[in-house]
Amino acid sequence: MDWAGAVLATVGLAGMTYGFTQAAELGFGAVSVWGTLLGGALAFAAFIAVQARGAQPMVPLRLFRSRTFSGSNALTLFLYAALGALTFFMPLHLVQIQGYRQEMAGLTFLPLGILLALMGRWSGGLVDRVGARLPLIVGPAAAGLGFLLFALPGLTAGEGDYWVTYFPASLVLGVGMGMTVAPLTTAVLGAAPPESAGIASGISNAVARTASVLAIAVLGALALVSFSSGLERRAAELGLSAETRAALREEARRLADAAVPAGLDAAAAETAQLAIKEAFVATFRVIAVICAGLAWLSALMAALLVEGGKAGGAGLTQT
């Protein structure tokens, strides 16, 4: 076991995640925030040094000498960061803002799961015909379009509007991810020596999980800042009193769970609720657009780094 590498990787990820999670509430000037971010960064730097010099490293850096291996993992980092962030914020958006029942919010991504299952065999065969590079460009590009479609709806009538709002977005995202997953795994395994296939697969999956964790932490901090400023601005535009705006400012840290201040008359309470919903819709749109940008950045990584030609390797899928 590479105990030093395992400990340093854990400390680095924990420090970065905690720092970004607390930054929105405490500010980057807080000692606990910049201290943990700095500590996490130093732990990651030490991790790389240990991997470069260790006799049995958990992440052999020699694998990254392959452009395809490096490019595939960069693609994984950006694409799974986008997927992790969107699937974290989407249930909050649907249940607390759009009025979906929890079970229906859970079914929103069903087209994505179905398409991943149905397209795996087809996309694996596509690699045999055209290689991994083309699907790894087209798939993330299509996924980026799907993420962008999630940003289009405003306040909806609830579940009844699903088929014309979030279903097309989930469908396009499913097509993009279905085209990507099998070729991505094939590219990663094909770029590594046969004796390192297990390690290469482990690295790719670790990158995907790490990407989701860091994306939720970083974009969660961004969401708090965006929602707080948006709620303050919208409450002022709607003519709410200074006292109500101050109460809403305190509620903003709860994001979509922000509550209407007590003691308001019916009209003011309805206006405050509208301000909360509109501010979170605007925040969710920012998150979805960022996710689209990350997906398109992953397509660029494939175009620049993944080598062309047909790729070998196992047709395993990454879940």
Confidence at residue 314, expressed as pLDDT on a 0 to 100 scale = 39
Structure-token pair, residue 220: 């969660």
Confidence at residue 275, expressed as pLDDT on a 0 to 100 scale = 93
Confidence at residue 139, expressed as pLDDT on a 0 to 100 scale = 96
pLDDT at 318 > cutoff 60 = no
Which CATH number is 80's domain given? Answer: 1.20.1250.20
The size of the chain, in residues, is 319
Picking from 137, 144, 145, the residue whose alpha carbon sits closest to that of residue 300 is 137
Calculated CA dihedral for residues 177, 179, 184, 187, nearest 10 degrees: -170
Picking from 132, 143, 61, the residue whose alpha carbon sits closest to that of residue 305 is 132
Asked whether residue 95 falls in the same domain as residue 124, the answer is yes
Asked whether residue 256 falls in the same domain as residue 168, the answer is yes
Taking CA 70 as the corner, what is the angle to CA 136 and CA 176, rounded to the nearest 5 degrees? 20
Confidence at residue 310, expressed as pLDDT on a 0 to 100 scale = 55
Report residue 308's pLDDT band, with 50, 70 and 90 as the boundaries: confident
290-310 average pLDDT score = 91
User: Long-range contact list for 127-131, CB < 8 A, 24+ apart?
Assistant: 127/182, 127/183, 127/186, 127/310, 127/311, 127/315, 128/310, 129/310, 130/310, 131/308, 131/309, 131/310, 131/311
pLDDT at 169 > cutoff 50 = yes
Asked whether residue 172 falls in the same domain as residue 201, the answer is yes
Confidence at residue 56, expressed as pLDDT on a 0 to 100 scale = 87
CB contact at 8 A, 312 and 187? no
Asked whether residue 99 falls in the same domain as residue 17, the answer is no
Amino acid letter for position 144: G
Confidence at residue 120, expressed as pLDDT on a 0 to 100 scale = 85
Asked whether residue 127 falls in the same domain as residue 51, the answer is no
- Kindly tell me the burial class for residue 36, based on how many C-beta atoms sit within 10 Å of its own C-beta (0-12, 13-18, 19 or more): buried
Q: Percentage of the chain surpassing pLDDT 70?
A: 97
Asked whether residue 93 falls in the same domain as residue 192, the answer is yes
Report residue 317's pLDDT band, with 50, 70 and 90 as the boundaries: very low
Report residue 315's pLDDT band, with 50, 70 and 90 as the boundaries: very low
Number of helical H runs and strand E runs in the chain? 10, 0
Question: Number of structural domains, the chain?
Answer: 2
pLDDT digits (tens, 9 = 90+) for 99-157: 999 999 999 999 999 999 999 888 888 888 888 999 999 999 999 999 999 999 999 98
pLDDT digits (tens, 9 = 90+) for 242-274: 999 999 998 998 888 999 998 888 999 999 999
Confidence at residue 309, expressed as pLDDT on a 0 to 100 scale = 59
Q: CA–CA distance from 14 to each of 38, 43, 60, 156, 168 (Å)?
A: 11, 10, 22, 38, 36
Average pLDDT, the chain: 91
Confidence at residue 28, expressed as pLDDT on a 0 to 100 scale = 81
Q: In whole angstroms, give the CA distance from residue 54 to residue 63.
A: 14
Instruction: State the residue range of the domain holding 2.
Output: 1-59
Confidence at residue 182, expressed as pLDDT on a 0 to 100 scale = 92
199-216 average pLDDT score = 92
pLDDT at 313 > cutoff 50 = no
Asked whether residue 166 falls in the same domain as residue 284, the answer is yes
Asked whether residue 226 falls in the same domain as residue 139, the answer is yes
Confidence at residue 55, expressed as pLDDT on a 0 to 100 scale = 84
Q: Which residue has the higher pLDDT, 215 or 125?
A: 215
DSSP-derived letter for residue 238 is T
Q: In whole angstroms, give the CA distance from residue 8 to residue 40.
A: 9
pLDDT digits (tens, 9 = 90+) for 18-76: 998 888 778 788 899 999 999 999 999 999 999 998 888 888 999 999 999 999 999 99
Asked whether residue 13 falls in the same domain as residue 136, the answer is no
Asked whether residue 105 falls in the same domain as residue 240, the answer is yes
Q: Which of 43, 59, 75 is the last residue of a domain?
A: 59
